[in-house]
């Protein structure tokens, strides 16, 4: 199976744990070389955050478990890059 190299995941999480702790915990997941979380929106109950993972062969199930163990949930997987080569997608002229 071609390795998963980059994942962008839209996540809903409770206010606790805070984003910092949430991110460092999820970053401990095996095969994760790095993760960046960006706050998108928040209301009284939840925070909507975007998590971008990079690694040599990411394990989404392990990532999802880590998110759920912290009280979060994956709202959607927005981008997946896999294979020997990490492909950067761009808007084509139709949408440029």
Q: Which of 16, 43, 45, 85 forms a contact with its own copies (CB under 8 A)? A: 85
Whether the CB-CB separation of 13 and 47 falls below 8 Å is answered with yes
Whether the CB-CB separation of 3 and 80 falls below 8 Å is answered with no
Per CB under 8 A, contacts with its own copies among 25-44 are 27-28, 32-42
- CB atoms under 10 Å from CB of 7, counted, come to 22
Q: Which of 14, 68, 73, 87 forms a contact with its own copies (CB under 8 A)? A: 87
Least distance to its own copies from the beta carbon of 23, Å?
4
- Give the residues lining the site for its own copies (CB under 8 A): 1-2, 4-8, 18-20, 23-24, 27-28, 32-42, 50, 52-54, 60, 76-96
């Amino acid at each position: 199976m071609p390795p998963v190299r980059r994942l962008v995941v839209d996540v809903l999480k409770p206010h606790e744990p805070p984003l910092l702790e949430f991110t460092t915990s999820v970053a401990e997941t095996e095969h994760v070389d790095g993760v960046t979380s960006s706050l998108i929106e928040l209301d009284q109950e939840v925070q909507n955050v975007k998590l971008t993972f990079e690694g040599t062969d990411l394990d989404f199930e392990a990532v999802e478990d880590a998110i759920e163990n912290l009280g979060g949930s994956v709202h959607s997987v927005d981008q997946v890059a896999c294979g020997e080569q990490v492909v950067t997608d761009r808007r084509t002229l139709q949408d440029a």
